[in-house]
């Protein structure tokens, strides 16, 4: 009792602590992998952004030789960064996110997507005939894949509170770099058309909006870096130049009045001025992004270390406390084991032999002296002694309750039988009086009413028989001679309220032994009445009877709503073995009809089964054994009985019921 729960507790706690420690170690490993992979992706991103900027300038001014040389040198640096980042990208090819897997496959070289795209973009920039907007978008797509992989590493290591601002700053940094490259290319081309102006306006507005939105979430040194960047001279110059490009007059005035207006493609910003201001501001932007990223990884690392420490300390402390508790508990348990064994032996001796014997004597109606028959268990005044006293009380209460219950059941049975016999005597007198009145009456209407009253009295007699059966006695009606099965069926049908709805469709010529006639009529009447009560008014109830192996089968089939699975199971249990009547009385809605059927069926060895009807209702089948049937005097089986189509045979049935 003590050792098993204690050891189970320690094992479960150790498993939970180990799970927390494993999770912490996994987080620490993800932080290390994230830092390593992020460094490789950062280098690749910086090289791609620089190559994109130089490519835009080269496309704007194909004759710029110095830019072409720098573009060639930058290509080599980008290729080296791409090879270095391929390993970090390959580790993410199994990520659950489909977009991350696609980006990892492109950068790792599995499908050659990034390399082929770079070769195409470089060829367009070298030729000088490529479209600047398409080249800009091509480089931006590769940089988007780099950002996707950086976000995947960050998502695996840091929580959403720290990772969200870092991703937002990365997005803003990329939009800033794209705007920087776009304007550099336009300055090199000497003109900025409407599409470039619109794109530049969107990019500058987008990164400004992102910075304003993420600023309240920045904390500590990252917040200080943000304020230093936005308050610096380079950032102010960059903002001033970009706003001048966006807010310049959209059209130029025509040279001659009446000429159409043309788009103002003059930029008004020098290449050196833009490079100096945007480059310095971009460096500060990079530092801000890296600071927030490092802050997120540092927070995740500290959380993992703290969780590892707590898991290890908690495991050791719990192990020590649990071990001490088990040792103390085991020592205490050993002192109690001997006394408990003795108490167990004494109580088992009483419960296994003495107590069942006393209960059986009480239920059989014999006299039981509880005080003299049950010895007291004496085990001291402590908790074990209290348990022994409680067991003494429970034994005496159980035996006393059994005695009281037997007395109550015996008194109730006597009351049932007294009431039932008196009612049955009165009903029998009513039936004899009705027979005399019917014999002397000639008016058809009056006879019809008398027959109806006769039918109601017959039902009342059956209900009185129910009480006699519940009381454990035999019914008052007796038959000595065998009765044809068709008359038995008609008598059963006539004892129900809605006998007009019942159709007897078939009946063999078998004879039922006289000793079983009254009980079989009563049993079948209960089944027929139950079928009529639980089916819609006006629908027929069909009664079939035929020979089967081992006897006769009587089917009573209605067209009602049927029974639920729970109701069907309960009814089958009652029919299989009828419980004691006092138990039945405790049920909210006791089905006394099924109880009576079960009692009568058990008395004569009749099997009663319930099954779903093809018409939607319920089919009750009573299997009457061969032992209850008789053949004709010459040994031949009786011929099949004639059955009137569609009914039970009115008057004949009524006469059979009263007989």
Rounded to 5°, the CA angle 471-477-482 comes to 130
- Is 484 a residue whose pLDDT tops 90? yes
Q: How far apart are CA 137 and CA 178, in angstroms?
A: 9
Q: Which residue has the higher pLDDT, 162 or 415?
A: 162
User: pLDDT-derived band of residue 3, with 50, 70 and 90 as boundaries?
Assistant: low
Q: How far apart are CA 67 and CA 73, in angstroms?
A: 10
SS3 554: strand
Range with the largest mean pLDDT of 575-579, 642-646, 648-652: 575-579
Tokens of 227: 């304020």
| Whole-structure pTM value | 0.50
DSSP annotation of 54 reads H
Range with the largest mean pLDDT of 243-252, 336-345, 571-580, 637-646: 243-252
What pLDDT is recorded for position 511? 92
pLDDT tens readout for residues 296-306: 788 778 777 77
What pLDDT is recorded for position 340? 78
What pLDDT is recorded for position 615? 80
Tokens of 504: 């007897």
What pLDDT is recorded for position 125? 84
Q: How far apart are CA 261 and CA 249, in angstroms?
A: 12
Tokens of 194: 């409407």
Q: How buried is 399 (Cβ within 10 angstroms: 0-12 exposed, 13-18 middle, 19+ buried)?
A: buried
Q: Which residue has the higher pLDDT, 589 or 294?
A: 294
User: pLDDT-derived band of residue 202, with 50, 70 and 90 as boundaries?
Assistant: very high
User: pLDDT-derived band of residue 556, with 50, 70 and 90 as boundaries?
Assistant: very high
User: pLDDT-derived band of residue 151, with 50, 70 and 90 as boundaries?
Assistant: confident
Look at 134-148, 265-279, 327-341, 487-501 and tell me which has the smallest mean pLDDT. 327-341
Q: Give me the percent of the chain exceeding a pLDDT of 70.
A: 76
> Residue range 446-453: average pLDDT?
72
- Is 644 a residue whose pLDDT tops 60? no
What pLDDT is recorded for position 370? 65
pLDDT tens readout for residues 219-258: 888 889 889 999 999 999 999 999 999 898 887 776 667 6
What pLDDT is recorded for position 474? 60
Torsion 625-631-637-639 (CA) sign: negative
User: pLDDT-derived band of residue 110, with 50, 70 and 90 as boundaries?
Assistant: low
pLDDT tens readout for residues 237-247: 999 999 999 89
pLDDT tens readout for residues 383-433: 777 787 777 777 777 777 766 776 676 666 666 556 655 665 676 676 677
Contacts of 608 (CB under 8 A, 6+ apart): 523, 527, 575, 597, 598, 601, 620, 621, 622, 623
445 - beta bridge partners?
none
Q: How far apart are CA 659 and CA 654, in angstroms?
A: 9
Contacts of 479 (CB under 8 A, 6+ apart): 514, 515, 517, 518
User: pLDDT-derived band of residue 459, with 50, 70 and 90 as boundaries?
Assistant: low
Contact 499, 463 (CB under 8 A): no
Long-range contacts of 232-241 (CB under 8 A, 24+ apart): 232/281, 232/284, 234/277, 234/280, 234/281, 234/284, 235/281, 235/284, 237/273, 237/277, 237/281, 238/277, 238/278, 238/281, 241/269, 241/273, 241/274, 241/277, 241/278
What pLDDT is recorded for position 575? 79
- Please identify which residue in the block is written with the tokens 């550099």: 184
Q: How many other CB atoms are there within 10 angstroms of residue 627's CB atom?
A: 11
User: pLDDT-derived band of residue 653, with 50, 70 and 90 as boundaries?
Assistant: very low
What pLDDT is recorded for position 588? 46
> Residue range 127-146: average pLDDT?
87
pLDDT tens readout for residues 37-47: 788 888 888 99
- Please identify which residue in the block is written with the tokens 């690749």: 44
Contact 618, 611 (CB under 8 A): yes
> Residue range 572-580: average pLDDT?
73
What pLDDT is recorded for position 541? 92
Q: How far apart are CA 69 and CA 265, in angstroms?
A: 28
Tokens of 29: 């490993």
Tokens of 154: 């960050």
Tokens of 379: 């085990």
What mean pLDDT value characterizes the chain? 79
User: Measuring CA to CA, which residue among 226, 41, 298 is closest to residue 151?
Assistant: 41
What is the end-to-end Cα distance of the chain in Å, rounded? 69
> Residue range 130-137: average pLDDT?
89
Q: How many other CB atoms are there within 10 angstroms of residue 65's CB atom?
A: 9
Q: How far apart are CA 389 and CA 380, in angstroms?
A: 9
What pLDDT is recorded for position 647? 47
**DSSP codes, 188-254:** HHT---HHHHHHHHHHHHHHHHHHHHHGGG--HHHHHHHHHHHHSHHHHHHHHHHHHHHTS-SEEPP
Q: How many other CB atoms are there within 10 angstroms of residue 69's CB atom?
A: 11
465 to 266, 469, 652: CA distances (angstroms): 115, 6, 22
User: Measuring CA to CA, which residue among 521, 555, 553, 552 is closest to residue 541?
Assistant: 555
637 to 479, 511, 521, 555, 625: CA distances (angstroms): 21, 9, 21, 21, 15
Tokens of 657: 């019921």
pLDDT tens readout for residues 328-341: 877 777 777 777 77
Contact 181, 53 (CB under 8 A): yes
- Is 577 a residue whose pLDDT tops 80? no
Containing 625, the helix (H) or strand (E) segment is strand 618-625
> Residue range 472-489: average pLDDT?
78
Contact 152, 58 (CB under 8 A): no
CA atoms within 13 A of residue 3's CA, in its CB half-sphere: 5
Q: How buried is 604 (Cβ within 10 angstroms: 0-12 exposed, 13-18 middle, 19+ buried)?
A: middle
User: pLDDT-derived band of residue 583, with 50, 70 and 90 as boundaries?
Assistant: very low
DSSP annotation of 91 reads T
- Is 176 a residue whose pLDDT tops 70? yes
**φ, ψ for residue 214, nearest 5 deg:** -90, -15
Contact 323, 29 (CB under 8 A): no
What pLDDT is recorded for position 645? 38
- Is 313 a residue whose pLDDT tops 90? no
> Residue range 495-511: average pLDDT?
87
Q: Give me the percent of the chain exceeding a pLDDT of 90.
A: 15
**b/e map 309-326, b = 16+ CB within 10 Å:** eebeebbeebeeebeeeb
């Amino acid at each position: 009792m003590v050792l098993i729960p204690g050891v189970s507790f320690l094992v479960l706690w150790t498993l939970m602590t180990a799970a927390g420690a494993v999770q912490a170690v996994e987080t620490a490993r993800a932080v290390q992998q994230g830092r390593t992979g992020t460094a490789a992706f950062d280098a690749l991103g910086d090289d791609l952004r620089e190559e994109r900027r130089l490519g835009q300038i080269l496309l704007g001014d194909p004759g710029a030789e110095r830019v072409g040389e720098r573009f060639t040198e930058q290509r080599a640096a980008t290729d080296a960064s791409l090879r270095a980042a391929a390993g970090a990208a390959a580790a993410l090819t199994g990520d659950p996110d489909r977009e991350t897997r696609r980006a990892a496959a492109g950068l790792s070289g599995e499908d050659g997507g990034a390399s082929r795209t770079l070769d195409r973009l470089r060829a367009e920039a070298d030729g000088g005939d490529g479209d600047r907007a398409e080249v800009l978008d091509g480089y931006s797509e590769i940089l988007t894949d780099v950002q996707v992989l950086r976000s995947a590493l960050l998502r695996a290591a840091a929580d959403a509170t720290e990772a969200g601002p870092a991703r937002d700053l990365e997005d803003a940094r990329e939009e800033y770099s794209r705007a920087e490259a776009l304007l550099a290319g336009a300055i090199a081309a000497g003109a900025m058309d409407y599409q470039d102006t619109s794109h530049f306006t969107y990019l500058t507005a987008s990164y400004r909006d992102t910075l304003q939105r993420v600023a309240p979430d920045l904390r500590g040194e990252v917040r200080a870096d943000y304020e230093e960047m936005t308050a610096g001279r380079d950032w102010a110059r960059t903002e001033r130049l970009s706003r001048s490009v966006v807010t310049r007059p959209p059209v130029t005035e025509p040279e001659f009045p009446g000429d159409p207006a043309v788009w103002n493609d003059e930029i008004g910003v020098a290449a050196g001025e833009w490079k100096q201001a945007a480059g310095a501001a971009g460096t500060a932007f990079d530092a801000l992004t890296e600071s927030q990223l490092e802050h997120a990884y540092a927070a995740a690392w500290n959380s993992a270390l703290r969780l590892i420490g707590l898991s290890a300390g908690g495991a050791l402390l719990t192990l020590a406390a649990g071990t001490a508790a088990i040792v103390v508990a085991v020592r205490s348990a050993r002192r109690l084991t001997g006394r408990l064994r003795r108490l167990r032996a004494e109580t088992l001796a009483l419960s296994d032999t003495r107590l069942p014997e006393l209960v059986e004597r009480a239920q059989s109606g014999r006299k039981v002296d509880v005080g003299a028959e049950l010895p007291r268990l004496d085990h001291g005044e402590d908790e074990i002694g209290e348990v022994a006293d409680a067991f003494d009380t429970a034994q005496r209460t159980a035996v006393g309750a059994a005695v009281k219950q037997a007395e109550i059941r015996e008194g109730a049975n006597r009351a049932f039988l007294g009431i039932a016999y008196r009612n049955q005597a009165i009903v029998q007198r009513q039936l004899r009086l009705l027979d005399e009145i019917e014999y002397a009456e000639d008016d058809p209407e009056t006879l019809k009413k008398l027959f109806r009253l006769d039918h109601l009295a017959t039902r009342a007699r059956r209900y009185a028989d129910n009480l006699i059966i519940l009381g454990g006695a035999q019914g008052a009606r007796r038959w000595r001679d065998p009765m044809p099965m068709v008359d038995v069926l008609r008598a059963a049908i006539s004892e129900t309220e809605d006998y007009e709805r019942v159709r007897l469709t078939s009946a063999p010529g078998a004879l039922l032994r006289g000793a079983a006639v009254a009980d079989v009529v009563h049993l079948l009447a209960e089944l027929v009445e139950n079928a009529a009560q639980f089916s819609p008014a006006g629908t027929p109830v069909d009664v079939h009877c035929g020979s089967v192996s081992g006897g006769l089968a009587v089917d009573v089939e209605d067209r009602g709503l049927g029974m639920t699975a729970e109701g069907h199971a309960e009814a089958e249990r009652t029919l299989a073995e009828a419980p004691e009547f006092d138990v039945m009385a405790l049920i909210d809605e006791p089905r006394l009809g099924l109880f009576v059927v079960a009692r009568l069926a058990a008395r004569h060895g009749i099997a009663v089964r319930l099954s779903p009807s093809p018409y939607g209702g319920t089919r009750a089948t009573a299997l009457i054994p061969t032992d209850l049937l008789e053949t004709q005097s010459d040994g031949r089986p009786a011929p099949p009985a004639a059955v009137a189509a569609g009914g039970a045979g009115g008057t004949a049935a009524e006469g059979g019921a009263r007989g």
